[in-house]
Amino acid sequence: MSGFAGFSGFLVRRLLGAAVTLLAISVIIYVVFYAAPGNVAQITCGPRCSPAQVQQVAEQLRLDDPLYVRYWDFLQGIFVGHDYSTGTGTEHCAAPCLGISYQSDQQVTALITAKLPVTGSLALGAMVLWLLLGVGTGVLSAWRRGRVSERVLTAVTLAGTATPVFVIGLLLMIVVCGQLQWLPFPQYVNFADDPTQWAWNLLLPWLSLALIEAAKYARLTRSSMLETLADDHVRTFRAYGVGERSIIGKHALRGAVAPVIALNANDFGSMFGGAVLSETLFGLPGIGRELVHAVKVVDLPVVVGMVMVTGFFVVLANAVADVLYAVADRRVVLS
């Protein structure tokens, strides 16, 4: 009973910490972008607008209100929704409302919802592959330590860590899609429309990202397993005649689970923020490409909303990692 109470307290602390972190992120993001120099009303209206038209746009967007008032309205919109003036009437933006795009007059939440499945598909598939490739390579490298195969695997993982994703992605597209024609050039297909084509078209981006990330997991798994294999209790198991496969599978691999969980959660959350390069390279219409476009046209509500969503996934992924870490190692609960 005391163990359950301890874990419940740990869970509450992590949730409260995540909530405070998200609030701090929202304040920083909003102040940084909306306090930046530049006439947002002029940019939104266009270069040919008269001063009167620019002033009308500023009033419609409430840009003359103090920054703290606009932030409070933004925060209210997330929890209870918000009403926006369209010039001819009023539009209600239901919670969670992240604002209205200056350029398209669409709700930012709707824009993000439309792009999220693309980035989510890219991150989820790549994560599965980098765990399989990375952990598998790390286990094999630790098992074959001191042999030629282990040195080859170590060299490959080092090369993977040092290679940028756009280099591997470009090479794979040229060779696999262009010359060999084993895979189609990537284009996003909705999972509900055709699951097979969805996976087939995303396989190349998944491989490109997984080959980069798998190198880190291979090195982490290998070092964690070698550390566990050097412990006294493992030597005792060997002295009692326990097989090497059993030692690696039941004991050494268990010691590598916790650090892999922590690293994976961080990488998965960061994928939503780091998808700009991969989505641009492969032409995938996800959050990354939309964010680049919003920055180019200075569409601040879209920029703030997408950065907020990215921060949310990073914080959520790390909170989940903390919980899984505590489940794998109950000593974390007492720390």
Q: Which residues of 229-262 are buried (b: 16+ CB within 10 A; e: fewer)?
A: beeeebeebeeeeeeeeebbeebbbebbbbbbbb
- Count the alpha carbons within 13 Å of 204 in the hemisphere toward its beta carbon: 28
Partners of 107 in beta bridges:
100
Residue 8's pLDDT is 79
Dist. CA 99–CA 105, nearest whole Å = 10
φ and ψ of 83, to 5 deg = -105, 130
Dist. CA 188–CA 211, nearest whole Å = 21
Position 38 confidence tier, pLDDT thresholds 50, 70, 90: low
Q: Of the candidates 277, 247, 276, 269, which has an alpha carbon nearest to the alpha carbon of residue 322?
A: 269
The encoded tokens of residue 60 equal: 């419609």
Name the amino acid, one letter, at 152. V
Dist. CA 221–CA 153, nearest whole Å = 13
Q: Per-residue pLDDT tens for 170-199?
A: 888 888 888 888 888 888 999 889 999 999
Q: Per-residue pLDDT tens for 58-89?
A: 776 677 788 888 888 888 888 888 887 666 67
Decide: 223 and 150 in contact? Cβ < 8 Å: no
Dist. CA 217–CA 231, nearest whole Å = 21
| Weakest mean pLDDT among 56-60, 66-70, 221-225, 295-299 | 56-60
Dist. CA 109–CA 265, nearest whole Å = 24
Place of tokens 């969670």: 96
Percentage of the chain beyond pLDDT 90 is 7
Count of all residues that appear for the chain in the document: 335
Orientation of helix 253-273 relative to helix 108-143, angle to 10°: 150
Whole-angstrom CA distances from 204 to 105, 116, 150, 270 are 35, 19, 27, 20
